[in-house]
Structure 1
Amino acid sequence: MISLRQLQVFKTIADTSGLTAASKRLNMTTSAVSINLKDIEQQLGTRLVVRERGRKRSSQKVELTAAGFWLYERADRILSISDGTKRYFEQLQNNSREMLNIGASQTVGNYWLPAYINALKQQRSSLKINVHISNTDEILNRIESFQDDIGLVEGPNSRGDILAKPFKEDSMTLIAPPDDEGQMLELQPWLIRETGSATRRLTEKLWAKLGIKPENVTELNTNESIIHSVASGIGVAYVPSITTPLMLEAGLVKSLPTEGAHYRTLYYVTHSDLSSRMAWIEPIIGIAN
């Protein structure tokens, strides 16, 4: 029977495209990695990898066969479930030790979360809180794999094992350099967030609403870097309103009018298997029962 360890060895070989690289990552000898691979192939009765043509044997570079690709996809899911199961029980132990892991998307983490942390500490003064801030998609991944107990994110969730509840509405503002002369938005340079960011998705929705497809686009992975880039005269951007007041007041950027109101919903998320244990947090965040 193929073990989880063997699946991990095989997946690492695939991820690193080589036996030598896999052995370094796994802290194993190359021969041990090779033995594990051969054992899996013998059990399945098929080749999973072949050496790249033109490569010397000493380089140990490999590529997956069709059977190897098939197994890789399943090994990835199996190992993910195994890791998630382990993290789930770690989270149960964390809860008994008064530890809370929070994942937050950037706008929520940088601007809304501090007040909630204060409220949580007032409720439970001994609570140890760990915070991870990233984009919405990564936070949902962390919730799904039990790396975080709860998440506060800027976009809706369609994943079946994650429960999402709205807790606040936020608005968006289109900003430009202070000396902007009103050039057509489609011709303007745009600054946008990275793929996986809810703010990026809202920017793309704004483009669709305006009927534009800007060609001069620069991608940055924080709201702050985008706003300061706008202030430097690089281009325009569509950003959460909570990030702009100081820059607007100082005259470092200016807001541009857009038709209609621009609001988005912020969501509290948790894994369905942890939702009952995390229910005590919901009134603190402002979620009505």
Structure 2
Amino acid sequence: MKDIGAAARRLAPTLDRLVSVHQLRLLTAVIERGGFSRAASALGLSQPAISHQLKALSGTIGTPVLEIIGRRVQLTQAGELLYEHAKRILAEFEAAGSALDELRGLQRGRLRVAGDTTVGIYVLPDLLGAFRHAHPSIEVHLGVDNRQGLYERLVAGEVDFVVSGRRWEDPSIALVVRPFLANELIAIASPRHPLAGRDHVTLADLAAEPFIVREPGSGTRETAEEALRAAGLSIRPVMELASNGAIKRAVAQDLGVSILSRYATALELQIGHLAELSVEGFPLRRQWHLVYARDKRLGPVDEAFLRFVDDGRWKETIGHPITTD
């Protein structure tokens, strides 16, 4: 018993390096097929090749795994232990192979996408809904964050792709940046606002109004501030809100003006809760980008998603007003 225990201690940490899956497969084939010749026929191997491998297996573990009594091949006590584990190991390998086949065939898999607060609410649900309709077995996750939050998620590897309107300066990881969708930013006010009835509004007129803005780190806010700064102007924030929906409600209540994406305001403009101001130089035309880590190894689901985005037919389904937020 002392010697057996010592052998077990020697084998336990190294057995995976000494015994091959091929040997385990041969062992189970001999037992389940009822002998060497049947196993050889089923596997397309020679009987001596199988015998050689199983002798090597016995030598590796230090005791025979098979014995021949009469004309029957039987497992030894060590062989029985190894056979029970071998069946489970081979079943796991078969399951892994099936899972990989399903992944390659897009019958399973996961897609993690995050977008900024505008594209994540008004565009990506339609895109991902269309993608999942085409690939119903894919598990889809959508996150919504501001520009800085998207960058942090991407660097941390929490998402596969992000969609953002503005690029990041000096990112800590190499990025692939692809054009995604055009985005128009418009100036909005309450329909009762004095500027709403004018055919022409100057940038100076707009900048003089109390502004309702997004939080710091918002790409929409940065773009609006840059556009006015380029004209030597600055905005006068009276409210800072982290939600497009909250901004729209505040504007509709005559608390100030704002600049938001046309995608975010389509329904409110349509039903008359908001008015688009005819400001010189507007709309501000910007571009959303699809971004992912350059070192990311693209799997079948990732590649299918990129092909789906590039195909572009999903764009026909977006931008139709459904509900206010």
Q: TM-score range by the shorter chain?
A: 0.5 to 0.7
CA RMSD of aligned residues (A): 2.3
Whole-angstrom CA distance in 2 between matches of 1:116 and 1:275? 23
SS at match of 2:194: coil
Q: Which AA in structure 2 matches 1:266?
A: W
Q: Is residue 219 of structure 1 aligned with residue 260 of structure 2?
A: no
Q: Deviations over 1:178-198 (max 9, x none)?
A: 111139323311011111111
SS at match of 1:126: coil
Instruction: Check conservation: 1:105, 1:152, Cα contact below 8 A.
Output: yes
Q: How many residues align?
A: 195
Structure 1: state its 5+ residue gaps.
1-94
Instruction: Check conservation: 1:191, 1:235, Cα contact below 8 A.
Output: yes
Q: Deviations over 1:92-147 (max 9, x none)?
A: xxx89612221111111111112211232133221111111111221121011101
Could you tell me which residue of structure 2 aligns to residue 168 of structure 1? 181
Could you tell me which residue of structure 2 aligns to residue 54 of structure 1? none
Instruction: Check conservation: 1:191, 1:226, Cα contact below 8 A.
Output: yes
Report the alpha carbon displacement of residue 287 of structure 1 after superposing the two structures with TM: 6.7
Q: Which AA in structure 2 matches 1:268?
A: L
Could you tell me which residue of structure 2 aligns to residue 273 of structure 1? 295
SS at match of 2:236: coil
Could you tell me which residue of structure 1 aligns to residue 228 of structure 2? 207
Could you tell me which residue of structure 1 aligns to residue 307 of structure 2? 283
Could you tell me which residue of structure 2 aligns to residue 15 of structure 1? none
Could you tell me which residue of structure 2 aligns to residue 140 of structure 1? 151
TM-score by length of 1: 0.62
Whole-angstrom CA distance in 2 between matches of 1:143 and 1:165? 15
Aligned pair partner of 1:186 in 198, 207, 212: 207
Report the alpha carbon displacement of residue 166 of structure 1 after superposing the two structures with TM: 0.8
1:59-98 superposed matches below 5 A: 98=109
Whole-angstrom CA distance in 2 between matches of 1:282 and 1:237? 34
Instruction: Check conservation: 2:163, 2:289, Cα contact below 8 A.
Output: yes
Could you tell me which residue of structure 2 aligns to residue 247 of structure 1? 268
Whole-angstrom CA distance in 2 between matches of 1:105 and 1:179? 30
Could you tell me which residue of structure 2 aligns to residue 63 of structure 1? none
Whole-angstrom CA distance in 2 between matches of 1:151 and 1:121? 17
Report the alpha carbon displacement of residue 216 of structure 1 after superposing the two structures with TM: 4.0
SS at match of 1:286: helix
Whole-angstrom CA distance in 2 between matches of 1:238 and 1:196? 15
Q: Deviations over 1:61-89 (max 9, x none)?
A: xxxxxxxxxxxxxxxxxxxxxxxxxxxxx
Aligned pair partner of 1:114 in 125, 132, 135: 125
Could you tell me which residue of structure 1 aligns to residue 5 of structure 2? none
Aligned pair partner of 1:196 in 203, 208, 217: 217
Q: 1:124 to 1:142 in 2, by over 3 A?
A: same
Instruction: Check conservation: 2:225, 2:235, Cα contact below 8 A.
Output: no
Q: Is residue 236 of structure 1 aligned with residue 257 of structure 2?
A: yes
Instruction: Check conservation: 1:176, 1:236, Cα contact below 8 A.
Output: yes
SS at match of 1:168: strand
Whole-angstrom CA distance in 1 between matches of 2:249 and 2:213? 13
SS at match of 1:244: helix
Q: Deviations over 1:37-60 (max 9, x none)?
A: xxxxxxxxxxxxxxxxxxxxxxxx
1:16-27 superposed matches below 5 A: none
Whole-angstrom CA distance in 1 between matches of 2:231 and 2:272? 26
Q: Which AA in structure 1 matches 2:236?
A: E
Structure 2: state its 5+ residue gaps.
1-102, 196-200, 313-325
Instruction: Check conservation: 2:165, 2:287, Cα contact below 8 A.
Output: yes
Report the alpha carbon displacement of residue 275 of structure 1 after superposing the two structures with TM: 5.3
Could you tell me which residue of structure 2 aligns to residue 6 of structure 1? none
Q: 1:216 to 1:167 in 2, by over 3 A?
A: closer
Instruction: Check conservation: 2:206, 2:279, Cα contact below 8 A.
Output: no
1:37-52 superposed matches below 5 A: none
TM-score by length of 2: 0.55
SS at match of 1:257: coil
SS at match of 1:106: coil
Q: Which AA in structure 1 matches 2:284?
A: H
Whole-angstrom CA distance in 2 between matches of 1:186 and 1:216? 10
Whole-angstrom CA distance in 2 between matches of 1:101 and 1:250? 34
